[in-house]
Structure 1
């Protein structure tokens, strides 16, 4: 209880915020008697009078095109103080004040300063033009919050206070100031301004306080939430039900649940009965933290207090039980919900289906899906995905494919990402023809066009199964669609071609890869070298090794060892191997332990005599 009281204790600000010095908006006139002899439109002392006269005697809708020409010579003398003086002259006519402000800003291209903005805000607010006031307030906050602003954001409040001595004003403008920061997502700045507003004796509405509490909660600034609530209590801003429901969320994120009773008592002391939102928030938080016993205790309390649990309450309980792997109990709670007349939605079904899939109970998952369909609920992307993934996880690929076919028969639209997952799973399991058949059916019947990544996966799988003709056909289809194959796909195709003895075709494919600006790797080098070694074409294998080393800096010792071994296995003699080693060393190949082993094996082979011995 002490901990709760400490959170709810009143707090006072350390000191009132310092305000910037109040500066007069009335400039000193230019003391030069000769100016009085000039026409009014050329007299710098008369610029405010000229503009005000024009605004008063003309339709302000035609002011903008004409005013600039009339005061052209005086515009250099129109500074921030003069702008403020004109605005003050029209503080009882917000429309003309706004027209003048826009003329300065847009026609003259002169950005008003903070003082000019604050005067306009007071004029608009006192004239009850609140939407316009909020628009210009947000514009001012945005300008002063930027790094290149001449005045920091904290000065807006001070200048707004200073301007109250010079014009008509409505205290609501300070409530709007806090709301403006929150509207722009500047929650922490809004909190600082909120404290300044309160310390200076102005009021903030409970609606604005609720917005501030919500913003602080989203940022997980929980201590600041309690500070806002304490300020509300201290200055007499009466919280409403929405306030306490936000504080319930704060409480659930911040407190020990042993204090929940004290919190609810505090709420009742303030004259508010916990409502459905309050209980749902608490039940959901209990379930998230694994405190299911306490969650069900609150569930029972709801009935005693005549607060009827709804779909949100039951879904939270079901999620909590599923998370605790108590799926059967979750299903019982689901049935209890249905028996009490609450219709389940897709989320409640998906929660149970997901839990059954995690437990490998796929039959129960399918039954729930059919139950959904019977209740006129269309399975969504998540429903299809979790069941398909469940089958795949259990190693039942055939069942996953049948499930997809069954859904299509039931006219359930299956997201292509789910089908794509099945296709890729079939490819990984070495069943590319089944994957290809499924892909073709989807293309024909539903118009699904696979992504290049899916085709690449399928090509790789076909290549691993040595189905080179089908793989090359798919490659050609991708090429027609102007899709570039990735290095993994080229690797699979070249590896397959070399494995089945089609080395020249593999080399041609590598040339195509280079034309596509896809760089080869050591695997491709090894596949080609190994392929030509099998054909005993050692010169070709060596030229490829040299090509990869010189063109791509690929010095693949493993491929070099393949060539050494192949030459040695033919019994060609150690001279040929030593000559090869010398040429390769010049390209950067350094023999390793396996290279030495192959060399020693060659040296140990019996040499053939160069001539017959004499009798």
Structure 2
């Protein structure tokens, strides 16, 4: 019989079985062995290619074989094979046939173990339970391997108490645990952070069972003690290893270093590393390549670039900096520290040295460039990848799309999506969620709904990120009722509930996505912002009833909402409830409450609350004191506010910008301009030369009639190229013009502003032109009028407040025409608008300017680009 030929032709199995059965002699041992070998080969072929209908046919024919011993043996082979290839449903169906047809001859424990192992791989705990119960009912005694499988499964699912009971019950079944049994249970305890329980198992391993621990058990415990910061206990375990004749190997030390680095204790890890380097005489293992990589990663993750750089230098000298993994760790470290130029240099060095960067290397750099907003450089890096023969993957394009979306450049992100698809790189759910989030953020709900529909059509199963993104988008757009309805339906339909956004969504690819803490946080935040507190409370109670426990964010959301809507008593009630529920308030929580008290002028209560903060070991920060400063200023307690600002600066805390603003305003209000100017100078040392500070003190000086001081401030601002949008320069120039000897000074100031490239309201020119003409400065008036026309053509942000201001803006034309039309300086300008419009030399100018005023001083000529329709590609 040609078995190989039969395998190749098996998709039509009838002739094979006819030949196989007719040519087999069941009474001959050699023939039986050959037959079972054929069954093994054909089963493997079918299972490998997952030919389920043919497997079902084979199952049927095996049941009809005679004698029964061959049928049973063949069926056991088929069960083992299908279980091995994770075709669990088929394997269980075949197993039930075996149990039904051969009840008097139950299968051996090894078959049960094969099936239990397959069920665990397939994450089907109900199948494990069925198999174990059937095993007990059949009188088949579990062996050590069975118990190890069951204990491992219980540990993986976090059922450590049940795992321990099963472990302790092994001896009752006359089964002795082996070293793997102990290792599995110790690892389960350590993964759950229960290292003391794991240590107790280690102790019993020696004292009760007389089983000698191996390095794996010790290394597992040492790692967990290090992770929890219990370094003395870890050192004692290392000593116990030596007492048991087990020298700590490089794996032991690498494990300790790795865990310490991940826990942020890089300095302690470095001590161990240095011991390994320098104490070989004491029996310590020498560092290997993994040791260096783990230590380098620790420095990079811990934000220690100098130490990482020194280590890389040493690794190069000792020949330990040759692997791609080492370069990728260092590349990631540079990116983490924002050293994008150095990272690109390293990548080029890798290419020159013949160490070809992987796609992971490029993705590290592209991610860093995107986070640094160097999007064009990131795009260039993609071109460099392709020129080097590396095809960008889904991570590459998703990173780029995320970079552009984070900057609000949705159209550019969409172009990248099209490029991604054109290169046959299929977007994943992460890619789509990025675009979806950005579209909702931009308020482009129609396009977001189209993308949802496209995702569904292309088979992308919506996950919790998708659901929460949609709910957040609806809340952002004010569609709270629809968001509430979706959350309600999610408990029943899962992600299919997104069909409420669009009827075409949710027809298939539904996942069991139920609302989580983030879902409720989004909704409660939106309800509180909208002042719908009763509904927010209902959702809070609903969340609790679903066994979703609130966190600090949700409590803070309620407190912020109540404070914002003036419900201070309710905010403090939530604050008390937090304490009752064992949820500690943060500095942010207290700051929201302090601001609420400040708005009510309750200074004493603020002091009491800050005392409570300290008692609860939540210390007031710069914002806490800044809010207090603002409140003191509003209640007229300027001296106390100034003292707090001074104390904050002495303590190295920077007061907020609003605190400085409040104090400067308050001091100016009581005409203590000297003190206000001193605070202004202090604020400059904290925040630099910001327009908001200069404009504040400038405007206050103007309102107090301190014209000369205000002008000096404006000149300083002009020299520093500070924007003057918030400056009340109109009042300053009017005040200067009122002083007869300062008309030319006002003219000079305007010209200075223009020469430095500032664009400002053309109405500023009018009082200066009037005064120049009245004082006989005709040439200066002419020049300033021309400048005014020029300024009018470029001014973008004029604010026309009624017909009076429009008339004032147009009246200068009356004067301009008069100046140019009359040869004598003393000629009186026409007093009537209509006379200007009827003159050939004035009407053109008047009409053009009138059109500009109507359009908003040049805004009418600004092109308006049609919004690009974001036609998302068919994936």
Deviation at residue 313 of structure 1 after TM alignment: 0.8
Q: Does 1:137 align with 2:345?
A: no
Unaligned runs of 5+ in 2: 404-418, 424-720, 722-756, 763-786, 828-875
In structure 2, how many angstroms separate the alpha carbons of the residues matched to 1:424 and 1:262? 45
Partner of 1:366: 270
Query: What's the CA shift string for 1:160-206, capped at 9, x where partnerless?
Result: 222337x9935311211211211332123212321220121154233
Q: Does 1:211 align with 2:114?
A: yes
Partner of 1:541: none
Deviation at residue 337 of structure 1 after TM alignment: 2.1
Deviation at residue 318 of structure 1 after TM alignment: 2.0
Residue correspondence of structure 1 range 394-413 to structure 2 within 5 A: 394-413=302-321
The answer as to whether partners of 1:117 and 1:136 remain within 8 angstroms in 2 is no
Please state whether the residue corresponding to 1:127 is helix, strand or coil: helix
The 1:455/1:577 distance shift into structure 2, 3 A limit, reads same
The answer as to whether partners of 1:388 and 1:422 remain within 8 angstroms in 2 is yes
Q: Does 1:127 align with 2:32?
A: yes
Partner of 1:561: none
Deviation at residue 406 of structure 1 after TM alignment: 1.4
TM value normalised by structure 1: 0.55
The answer as to whether partners of 1:568 and 1:577 remain within 8 angstroms in 2 is no
Please state whether the residue corresponding to 1:344 is helix, strand or coil: coil
The answer as to whether partners of 1:346 and 1:380 remain within 8 angstroms in 2 is no
Please state whether the residue corresponding to 1:204 is helix, strand or coil: coil
Q: Does 1:612 align with 2:820?
A: yes
The 1:459/1:116 distance shift into structure 2, 3 A limit, reads same
In structure 2, how many angstroms separate the alpha carbons of the residues matched to 1:478 and 1:185? 38
Please state whether the residue corresponding to 1:163 is helix, strand or coil: coil
In structure 1, how many angstroms separate the alpha carbons of the residues matched to 2:56 and 2:382? 63
The answer as to whether partners of 2:215 and 2:246 remain within 8 angstroms in 1 is yes
The 1:414/1:326 distance shift into structure 2, 3 A limit, reads farther
Deviation at residue 566 of structure 1 after TM alignment: 6.5
Q: Of 290, 296, 303, which aligns to 1:388?
A: 296
Please state whether the residue corresponding to 2:820 is helix, strand or coil: coil
The answer as to whether partners of 1:567 and 1:577 remain within 8 angstroms in 2 is no
Deviation at residue 289 of structure 1 after TM alignment: 2.0
Unaligned runs of 5+ in 1: 1-94, 493-513, 519-533, 535-563, 579-594
Q: Of 248, 269, 272, which aligns to 1:344?
A: 248
Partner of 1:306: 210
The 1:114/1:345 distance shift into structure 2, 3 A limit, reads farther
The 1:340/1:460 distance shift into structure 2, 3 A limit, reads same
Q: Does 1:285 align with 2:188?
A: yes
The answer as to whether partners of 1:175 and 1:208 remain within 8 angstroms in 2 is yes
Partner of 1:326: 230
Deviation at residue 253 of structure 1 after TM alignment: 4.5
Q: Of 56, 79, 82, which aligns to 1:181?
A: 82
Question: Which 10-residue stretch deviates more, 244-253 or 115-124?
Answer: 115-124
Deviation at residue 347 of structure 1 after TM alignment: 4.0
Query: What's the CA shift string for 1:84-104, capped at 9, x where partnerless?
Result: xxxxxxxxxxx37x599579x
The count of corresponding residues between Structure 1 and Structure 2 is 421
Partner of 1:527: none
Query: What's the CA shift string for 1:3-31, capped at 9, x where partnerless?
Result: xxxxxxxxxxxxxxxxxxxxxxxxxxxxx
In structure 1, how many angstroms separate the alpha carbons of the residues matched to 2:5 and 2:302? 73
Query: What's the CA shift string for 1:257-301, capped at 9, x where partnerless?
Result: 455665345422332221211111111112222333322221111
Query: What's the CA shift string for 1:81-126, capped at 9, x where partnerless?
Result: xxxxxxxxxxxxxx37x599579x48xx955379649848976995
The 1:416/1:198 distance shift into structure 2, 3 A limit, reads same
The answer as to whether partners of 2:99 and 2:106 remain within 8 angstroms in 1 is yes
In structure 1, how many angstroms separate the alpha carbons of the residues matched to 2:350 and 2:5? 64
In structure 1, how many angstroms separate the alpha carbons of the residues matched to 2:4 and 2:382? 66
The 1:476/1:263 distance shift into structure 2, 3 A limit, reads closer
Please state whether the residue corresponding to 1:332 is helix, strand or coil: helix
TM value normalised by structure 2: 0.40
Partner of 1:537: none
Q: Of 155, 164, 176, which aligns to 2:66?
A: 164
In structure 1, how many angstroms separate the alpha carbons of the residues matched to 2:161 and 2:389? 64
The answer as to whether partners of 1:321 and 1:327 remain within 8 angstroms in 2 is yes
Deviation at residue 137 of structure 1 after TM alignment: 2.7
Q: Does 1:234 align with 2:124?
A: no
Partner of 1:316: 220
The alignment yields a C-alpha RMSD, in angstroms, of 5.2
Deviation at residue 143 of structure 1 after TM alignment: 7.7
In structure 2, how many angstroms separate the alpha carbons of the residues matched to 1:119 and 1:112? 11
Please state whether the residue corresponding to 2:238 is helix, strand or coil: helix
Please state whether the residue corresponding to 1:319 is helix, strand or coil: helix
In structure 2, how many angstroms separate the alpha carbons of the residues matched to 1:255 and 1:427? 37
The 1:258/1:441 distance shift into structure 2, 3 A limit, reads closer
The answer as to whether partners of 2:335 and 2:364 remain within 8 angstroms in 1 is no
- Whose RCO is larger (CA < 8 A, sep 6+)? 1
